[in-house]
Structure formats: structure tokens, C-alpha cells
Amino acid sequence: MVFALSIFLGTLSIINKILLFIEKKSGWLSGIAIGLISGFYFWIIDLKILSISEAGFFLVMLYGYIRHTHPSLKETLKFNLILSALSLLLCYFLFVGLITFIETISALSFIWGGYFLAINKKTFGWLLFLLAHTTTAFTSFYVEQVIFSILQLISGLICIYAILFPIHYKLRNFNKIIQN
């Protein structure tokens, strides 16, 4: 079951990054699903802190979906406070030894990467997602989740592509092709 779940989540993660890259609302919805299911998956493979941090990823994806359907400055402030509190909590776990440094980087990078994408700070978001996928790949490999680790690295490659080739350039070139 764990093997099938790792393949499903890794594949969904790749699909999620592609959908976010092409700016589809379904990217946020798939992220919501990933946040919920990954929490369960990380709990099963005994990465408890990453499991808890998936609640933060779930919230960020939910926020991204809401922000792109009903933007609100008041909601943004509330969400900034929630993310800051969650980040401080994760850092506290690091300093009391309940979480490793790599898990902390992964958790915070997923949460803040999603946040930056939600507020249209795409380069920061994709850079943080790249860091998150790389550190998650390392952490998963360490607990012998090789396939999941490889799929995380593929998601990281999509992040690199998103950094190097922003969507507006692709859309601008596509419009030129259509007009000719």
C-alpha cells in the first residue's frame, strides 16, 4: 500500500506543478489533495514532522485556490499570521530536537513556496518549491522511498523549468504564432 501511495503522490505532485505552472485553478485543487493525502503518507513512513507540515501545505493550497477565485486583503493578513505562527512552530521543533534541519527546510519551503505562488511572487515560489522537492527527495530516499524520491526530483525539474521559462513568455509567443 505504501508503495502504491508513494507512486500516486509523486505523480500527483508532478501534475500539480505542471498545473500550477500553466496557471490552472486545478493546480491549487490538486495541491489541496496532496496536502491531505501526503500527511497520511508521511505519517505511515514515520516522517511525523513532514506529516504535520502537510497541514500547512494544505492550508497554502486552499489559500491559493481562494485567492484566485475570491481575492481579499483581509484574508491575506489572516493567512500571513497563520503561516508565520506555523513557521515559528516548525522552527521551535528544530531547536528542541524533534525535527531535523532538512525536514525543517522541506516543510518551510513547501509552505512558503505555495504562499509566494498564491500571491504571484512566482520566482520565489518556484525556488522554494525546488528546494522543498530536493530536500524531500533526500529525506524520502533516506527512509528507503526510492520511487517517491525520484518523483520528487522530477517535480524539482519542473520547478527549474518554471523558473527559467515563465508562463507569460510562453503565452506571448503562443499569441504571436496564432496571429501569424
Q: DSSP 3-state helix, strand, coil percentages of the chain (rounded to 5)? A: 85, 0, 15
For 19-30, what is each residue's pLDDT tens digit?
988 888 899 999
Give percent of the chain with pLDDT exceeding 70.
81
For 87-133, what is each residue's pLDDT tens digit?
777 667 666 665 677 777 888 888 888 888 888 888 999 999 999 99
Average pLDDT of every residue of the chain: 81
How far apart are the C-alpha atoms of 43 and 63, rounded to whole Å? Answer: 24
User: Against a cut of 0.85, is the pTM above it?
Assistant: no
- Give residue 168's pLDDT band: very low, low, confident or very high (50, 70, 90): low
Length of the chain as a residue count: 180
